Amino acid sequence: MRSAAVVVTGILVVAMVAPGARAADDAPSFNRDVRPILSDKCFKCHGPDSASRKADLRLDGREAAIKAEAIVPGRPGDSLLIERIFSDEPEQVMPPPATGKKLDAREKDVLKRWIAAGAAYEAHWSFIRVAEKVAVPQPKAGLPWIRNPIDAFVLERMRGANLEPAAETTKEKWLRRATFDLTGLAPTLEEIDAFLTDQSATAYETVVDRLLKSQEYGERMAGDWLDVARYADTFGYQSDRDMHVWPWRDWVIRAFNDNLPYDQFIVWQTAGDLLENPTRDQYLATAFNRLHRQTNEGGSIEEEFRIAYIADRVNTNATAFLGLTFECARCHDHKFDPVSQKDFYRLSAFFANIDEHGLYSHFTETAPTPALRLYEGDQEQKHRELLEKIREKEGELSQIREEAKQRQATGATAAPSAVEPTAKFSFDDAKESGDNRPVPGKVGQGLEFGGDDAFVCKGAGQFGRATPFTFALWLKPAEHKPRQMIFHRSAAAEDAAFRGYSLVLDEGRAVFSLIHFWPGNAIRVQSEDRLPVGDWTHVAVTCDGGSRAAGLRIFLNGKPAALKVIRDSLTRDIVYRKEWGDSGNAELALGARFRDSGFKKGVVDEFLVFDRNLTEIEIAAIGGFEVPATESVRFEHFLMRDDAAYVAARGELQALRVAENDLVSSVRQIMVMKELSAPRATHVLNRGAYDAPGDAVESATPPSIL
């Protein structure tokens, strides 16, 4: 099968060249002789790009050129093209002298002979389907050079160029060439001796089969493909951190060694994630689309680079699989090929629909989202087992919850006990804010922020993805802005992929996030109501450790806030780990974050940290508000604090969640493609600028390549 694959490849390559193999005195071939002249000297002003077209004349299509009488087939003397290129008048001659282009005598003669022969046009070779069957040339019998059908194609081309084959080389030289071509290595002495002593009729085939079965064959073939795919081990900008994409490289080597059919080789890399029930390797192959350079440089605009990454995918797929350069069409209609700017952006829509951020992280080497888990050994089996145990325990908890209704009805209702925080920051000695607030026993104290400096709560709030917790504090914003950092535990914003947890105000709305890598591995919820400017609001955030948006609650002045879910896909830890290549100082801090918008002129007081998620009754109590007395609220408090069976089962569930988090967070990852549930809006971008959207477009393939 391997030898057959090589033969087929050889036929395809030679077949694409063979039609142009005409004797020197034959009529010029359009693709071989004419198109290069027109493309270089004429298409800029008389080609596909309507914006730069002069005199409304097109020479890239036969029908349009004939209609304009630029070309009169069979009559070069009546063709305006010939008249203009042979003119001696500066105002008439084409190309115009101002362009710096000039046709030499040979080029003029080619165009003249081409029109005289009928001015036949041919589609660009990359638009021509490869024939399923190719007629094999039939040279004279008895020629010693014809040993297989490929030789017949080669001989026909050579004869067309008045060349003769060289004398047959020695077996040693042939073996050296074949071994270098297929493995990139020289043959060993033992391999040379074995080949020289093999006098069978299949000696050459035996060598080729051996080389194709070697590990080195895949490595040799992969080397060229890695160049096409712009493979690199680092991101390519600024600090140039490691990308950790070598598992894709290893897949390419396996694909060649396993003789993966070329159509599957293309499909898997282009859209393996869209196949029905894709395998891990089909997902892994799509890393091909994520191998572009990425930046984390400070001050970079996220959307600008996200658009650049999408454009890179379009250009790379066009070059690798279509043999075309699409870059020109990013800013305008292509000047030399039938690809419009609209075609470019319709094709880009296929590659835009993933949950990615335009900047990778400086403080972590964790794979940007979307990412694929690369389980090793029994990791996947153990992970599935833990997830199943979590599902079973959650079901058991639901049953205990139902049974607890009877226990609450028959038992005595205990008064809410005092809630002690694990950490408390009251700022009693801080700068006075100048007014009062509704905190019993407190008058006019708090911490006002300048916007750049943070108050670090060292050692407090060291919570992970599977840890229940509660934060509570009093806030008084001075203004509404798009982003104001209230508190966080993270090293930075974009520079750390937003890793950690944070509470921010977005135009006055409370936004709480738990993030491994933004945006594809994160939970984010936002309050519907705004906090008032210039007034104190008590804000509390609780998390049940379940890694779901439903497990997050925000309370405003003791009451649950209506929430909008922004993201709900957290599957990996939010802490910083050395094994992930993490760095930076991740401490709980108030009021500011590295390269982020601080809580300028805002005031904070009575910041409390709890290592469990408080009930609504407890939230009201710590804020000094009236304790709600509804049946559902009292029952929830009874479950969380007084029902021994429920409390015990919750402890067991948390232990399982911690174990699952530790396991999955140890699994390596790689960037891949994964479709969003709803497609992103895609627009034609004026001059290719990310901030100049034009008409909306939907995904489609350029009609010229169909």
For residue 531, what is the domain's CATH number? 2.60.120.200
3-class secondary structure for 426-484? CCCCCCCCCCCCCCCCCCCCCEECCCCCCEECCCCCCCCCCCCEEEEEEEECCCCCCCE
Coil, strand or helix: which one is 596? coil
Token readout for 559 is 């009451």
Token readout for 180 is 């270098």
Give the integer Cα–Cα distance in Å for 184 and 200. 26
Residue 330 has pLDDT above 50, yes or no: yes
* Domain termination residue (choose one: 625, 657, 675): 625
Question: Residue 266 falls within a domain, yes or no?
Answer: yes
Question: Residue 305 falls within a domain, yes or no?
Answer: yes
Residue 5 has pLDDT above 60, yes or no: no
Residue pair 664/572 in contact by the 8 Å Cβ criterion = yes
Please give the C-alpha separations between residue 159 and each of 13, 27, 29, 33, 110, in angstroms, as whole numbers.
18, 17, 17, 19, 22
| pLDDT of amino acid 257 | 97
Average pLDDT over residues 526-551: 96
| pLDDT of amino acid 202 | 94
Question: Residue 261 falls within a domain, yes or no?
Answer: yes
| pLDDT of amino acid 14 | 30
Pairing of strands 500-506, 537-543: unpaired
| pLDDT of amino acid 160 | 83
Q: Which residue has the higher pLDDT, 99 or 124?
A: 99
Give the integer Cα–Cα distance in Å for 1 and 347. 35
Tokens 């002249």 sit on residue:
37
Least confident residue range of 226-230, 279-283, 584-588: 584-588
| pLDDT of amino acid 585 | 82
| Same domain flag for 321 and 466 | no
Give the integer Cα–Cα distance in Å for 515 and 484. 17
The per-residue pLDDT for range 612-657, each reduced to its tens digit, is 999 999 999 999 998 887 899 999 999 999 999 999 999 999 999 9
The per-residue pLDDT for range 354-392, each reduced to its tens digit, is 999 998 888 889 999 999 999 999 999 999 999 999 999
User: Going by C-beta distance under 8 Å and a sequence separation of 6 or more, which residues neighbour residue 262?
Assistant: none
Determine the distance from the C-alpha atom of residue 532 to the mean position of all C-alpha atoms in its chain, rounded to a whole number.
40
| Same domain flag for 427 and 462 | yes
Residue pair 235/295 in contact by the 8 Å Cβ criterion = yes
Give the integer Cα–Cα distance in Å for 103 and 111. 10
Name the phi and psi angles at 609, rounded to 5. -125, 130
Name the pLDDT band for 474 (thresholds 50, 70, 90): very high
Coil, strand or helix: which one is 526? strand
pTM equals: 0.84
If one counts the domains in the chain, the total is 3
| Same domain flag for 294 and 243 | yes
The per-residue pLDDT for range 114-156, each reduced to its tens digit, is 999 999 999 877 788 888 888 988 877 777 788 888 889 999 8
Q: What is the DSSP string of 683-695?
A: EEEGGG-TT-EEE
Residue 484 has pLDDT above 50, yes or no: yes
| Same domain flag for 458 and 591 | yes
| pLDDT of amino acid 418 | 74
Name the pLDDT band for 295 (thresholds 50, 70, 90): confident
Average pLDDT over residues 457-486: 96
Four-residue CA torsion sign, 211, 213, 215, 220 = positive
Question: Residue 691 falls within a domain, yes or no?
Answer: yes
| Same domain flag for 342 and 447 | no
Question: Residue 202 falls within a domain, yes or no?
Answer: no
Mean pLDDT of the chain: 89
Average pLDDT over residues 98-122: 94
| Same domain flag for 607 and 657 | no
User: Could you list the residue range(s) of the whole structural domain that residue 239 is in?
Assistant: 220-374+683-705
| pLDDT of amino acid 34 | 95
Question: Residue 157 falls within a domain, yes or no?
Answer: no
Give the integer Cα–Cα distance in Å for 224 and 208. 20
* Domain termination residue (choose one: 575, 598, 625): 625
Question: Residue 213 falls within a domain, yes or no?
Answer: no
User: Which among 453, 455, 408 has a CA at the least distance from the CA of 427?
Assistant: 455
Q: What is the DSSP string of 606-661?
A: EEEEESSPPPHHHHHHHHTPPPP--HHHHHHHIIIII-HHHHHHHHHHHHHHHHHH
Average pLDDT over residues 269-281: 96
Single-letter amino acid, residue 663: L
The percent of residues in the chain predicted with pLDDT above 70, rounded, is 93
Residue 412 has pLDDT above 60, yes or no: no
Eight-state DSSP code of residue 322 = I
Residue 211 has pLDDT above 90, yes or no: yes
| Same domain flag for 239 and 289 | yes
| pLDDT of amino acid 253 | 98
The per-residue pLDDT for range 387-405, each reduced to its tens digit, is 999 999 999 999 999 999 8
| pLDDT of amino acid 411 | 54
Residue 446 has pLDDT above 50, yes or no: yes
Q: Between vectors from CA 459 to CA 457 and to CA 462, what angle results, nearest 5°?
A: 105
| Same domain flag for 304 and 402 | no
| Same domain flag for 695 and 610 | no
Name the phi and psi angles at 317, rounded to 5. -65, -40
| pLDDT of amino acid 415 | 56
Residue 16 has pLDDT above 50, yes or no: no
The per-residue pLDDT for range 32-82, each reduced to its tens digit, is 899 999 999 999 899 888 888 898 899 988 999 999 999 999 999 999 999
The per-residue pLDDT for range 231-266, each reduced to its tens digit, is 999 888 877 888 899 999 999 999 999 999 999 999
| Same domain flag for 587 and 698 | no
Residue 416 has pLDDT above 70, yes or no: no
Residue pair 551/390 in contact by the 8 Å Cβ criterion = no
Give, for 512, the enclosing helix (H) or strand (E): strand 509-517
| Same domain flag for 346 and 228 | yes
| pLDDT of amino acid 3 | 33
| Same domain flag for 432 and 573 | yes
Question: Residue 71 falls within a domain, yes or no?
Answer: no
